[in-house]
Chain A
Amino acid sequence: MPCEPYKNALVEAAATGAEPLGELRAHLAACPACRAALAQEQSLFSSIDTGLSAAVNAEIPASLLPRVRARIAEEPAVTRGWIPGWLAMAGAAAIIIAFLAAQAAWRNVAPRKPAEMATQPASPVQVPLPPVRSPESAPTSRHDSATQPQVSVVRNSVPRQTRTTRNPEPQVLVPRDQEVLLARYAEQWRSRKRLPLMAETSSDTPMAPLQIAPIQIAQLDVKLMTEEQGQ
C-alpha cells in the first residue's frame, strides 16, 4: 500500500520507466510499501509492453508479399488521367443538361411535321395522265385510256389560308408510294440532321425493267397551197 501523496508519482515513474528522482527517491528509500507498489507498477507496465509487443511483432507470413504481388498483377495499369474524375463527371453532366435544354427549346419552336399533314383526311382527285403505251398495246389503239394507269393527286384538306400562314413550306406533287419517303426526308431537314439521302428498296412496288415504246411517225400529208385554198 503506497503512501497517498506519492501514488501518482509512482505511477508516472513506472509509466515513463525513468529512475525516481528527488523527494520520491528519498521516500522510496524510507518506505518499503511504496517500493513494493513501484515494483508492482513496473511489473504491470512491463506486462502491458510484453503483451503489445507479442501482438505487434508477430512473424510476417511468407505468403503476404507474393499474394499482394499476384493481386497487383491482376490489377489494370494505374494511370493518372489528364482530366480529374470529378471534372470529367461535371463536364458530362453539363453536356447532358445543355442537350436537354436545347431539346426542350426546340420542341417549343418546332413547326408541324409533314408526316402529320400526310395523315390528315384528304380528298383524292383523280387526274388522268396522258396515256403511256406499253409495247403490247402500242400498235393497237390510241384511245385506251380506261386501261392506262392513273395517278391520284392528293390535295391537302387544310384550308389554303391556314397553310399559307402557318406552314410556309412548298407543296410538292408526289406519287402516293413516295409520300412517306418524302415526309421522312422533310423531317430530317426539319430536324437539321442533314442526313444523306438513302435509297430504299420497297417490297410492295417491284421494280420492272424500263420499257420504251417505239416511236411512231405519222405519214406526211403534203398538199399544194392552191388545193388548200380551194378547199
Chain B
Amino acid sequence: MQELVLIQPGSTIRSESSRDTAQADARHDFEARLVECGPLAYRVARGVLRNSADAEDVAQEALLRAYRSFHRLRDRNRFRGWLVRISFRIALDRLRSAKRRELRDLEWSQPAHQPRPANAEDIAASNEFQAHLDRALEELPEKLRLVLLLAAMEGHTIDEIAALLAIPVGTAKSRIFVARKQLAEKLRCHVNPTKTR
C-alpha cells in the first residue's frame, strides 16, 4: 500500500537544505576536534590499558561514539572532557573483560601458563616495578585513577584537568595528592621497605 504524505513543497525544500547544511557543519566541526582531541583519547586509553594496539582500538571506538552522539552535546566546549570520560569508560570495560579472559585462560591452561610474546613495549614494561605500578594503578578508585592519568599527560596543568573534568581546582589537587600517596603506599615495600625508628 502506497503511503501518502501531505507536504508543502517550498518549505520542505528549505528545511532539507538547512538540515544538510547543519550536518555538514557538524561533521566539519567534529573533524576539527578530531585532530585536536584524538591523541587525548588514545593517551587516556593507553594509560589504562598499557597496550598500544588495545589503546588504539579503544580510542577509535571512543571517537566514533563521540561522533555519533556529537549532535547531543549542548556545550561543545566540553567536548574534551566528554571524550576523556568516554575513552576512560571504554578502556576500563576493555581492561575488565581482558582480565576475565586472562583468568579463564589461566584456569584452562594450568599449570603451563605461557606469557604472551613480548614486543619492545612489553620488554620495556616488563620490569618488576612497572608491573607493580600497573597493578597498584588498577586498584585505585576510578576517580583517582583518571585524574592521575590526566596529570601525568604532558601539557596538562591542574587548572586544565579541573576544567576538563568539571570539578573544582581544589578537588583536582586533592585527588592527585591522594592518588599519588595511595600508589606510594602500595609500591613502597617493592622499592625499599621503610622502617620507623
Residues in A lying within 8 Å of B, measured CB to CB: 1-4, 7, 11-12, 14-16, 33, 37, 40-41, 43-45, 47-49, 51-58, 60-61, 63-65, 67-69, 71-72, 75, 77-80
Given that A55-B47, A68-B60 are contacting pairs, would A2 and B197 also be in contact in the complex, using a CB cutoff of 8 Å? yes
A58 to B195, CA, bound (A): 36
Q: Which of B27, B60, B152, B196 is in CB contact (< 8 Å) with A71?
A: B60
Chain A residue, CB-CB nearest to B183:
A48
Whether the Cβ atoms of A61 and B42 lie closer than 8 Å is: yes
Q: How many A-B residue pairs have CB under 8 A?
A: 129
| Cβ contact within 8 Å between B187 and A44 | yes
Does residue B2 face the partner (Cβ distance < 8 Å to A)?
no
Chain A residues whose CB sits within 8 angstroms of the CB of B19 once the complex forms? 79
Give Cα A78 to B148, complex, Å.
34
B59 and chain A: residue at smallest CB distance: A64
B interface: dominant SS? helix
Q: How far is the CB of B155 from chain A (nearest CB, A)?
A: 9
The chain B residues found within 8 Å of chain A, CB to CB, are: 19, 22-23, 26-27, 30-31, 34-35, 38-39, 42-44, 46-47, 50, 52, 55-56, 59-60, 63-64, 67-68, 70-71, 121, 124-125, 129-130, 133, 137, 148-149, 152-154, 177, 180-181, 183-184, 187-188, 191-192, 194-197
The 5 closest A-B CB pairs, nearest first, are A52-B152, A56-B47, A51-B133, A1-B197, A80-B71
CA distance A64 to B53 in the complex (A): 10
A52 in contact with B52 (CB, 8 Å) = no
18 pairs of residues in contact across A and B, judged by CB atoms under 8 Å: A2-B194, A2-B196, A16-B177, A40-B194, A44-B188, A45-B180, A48-B187, A53-B152, A55-B50, A56-B149, A58-B52, A61-B52, A64-B38, A64-B42, A67-B56, A72-B64, A78-B23, A79-B19
Contact B184 A41 (CB under 8 A): yes
Complex alpha-carbon distance, A51 and B130, angstroms: 7
Q: How far is the CA of A72 from the CA of B70 in the complex (A)?
A: 12
Give the docked Cα–Cα distance between A83 and B109 (Å).
53
Which A residues are in CB contact (< 8 Å) with B187?
Answer: 44, 47-48
Closest to B188 in A: A44
Shortest Cβ distance from A67 into B: residue? B60
Among A67, A68, A75, max chain B CB count under 10 A is at A68
Contact of B64 among A48, A60, A71, A79 (CB under 8 A): A71
Selected from B124, B184, B195, the residue in CB contact (under 8 A) with A11 is B184
When distances are taken between beta carbons in the complex, the residues of chain B under 8 Å from A53 are 152, 154
List the A residue with the shortest CB-CB distance to B150: A56
Q: Hey, which chain B residues are within 8 Å of A47, CB to CB?
A: 129, 133, 187, 191
Complex Cα distance A33/B194, Å? 11
- If over half of A's interface residues share one DSSP class (helix, strand or loop), that class is named, otherwise mixed; here it is helix
Please name all residues of chain B whose beta carbon is closer than 8 Å to the beta carbon of A78 when the two chains form the complex: 23, 26-27, 67-68, 70-71
Minimum CB–CB distance from A81 to chain B (whole Å) comes to 9
Q: Could you say which residues of chain B place their CB within 8 Å of the CB of A71?
A: 60, 64
Identify which of A14, A15, A37, A43 contacts B191 (C-beta below 8 A).
A43
Closest chain-A Cβ to B122's Cβ sits at a distance in Å of 12
**B112–chain A nearest beta-carbon distance, Å:** 29
Nearest-neighbour CB distance to chain B for A219, whole angstroms, equals: 64
- On whether the beta carbons of B23 and A49 are closer than 8 Å, the reply is no
CA distance A52 to B130 in the complex (A): 9
Q: A52-B152, A55-B47 are in contact. List 18 more A-B contacts (CB 8 A).
A: A15-B180, A48-B183, A51-B133, A52-B137, A56-B43, A56-B44, A58-B43, A60-B38, A61-B52, A64-B59, A64-B60, A65-B38, A68-B34, A71-B60, A71-B64, A78-B26, A78-B27, A80-B22
A57 with B152, Cβ < 8 A, contacts A44-B192, A68-B63 known: yes
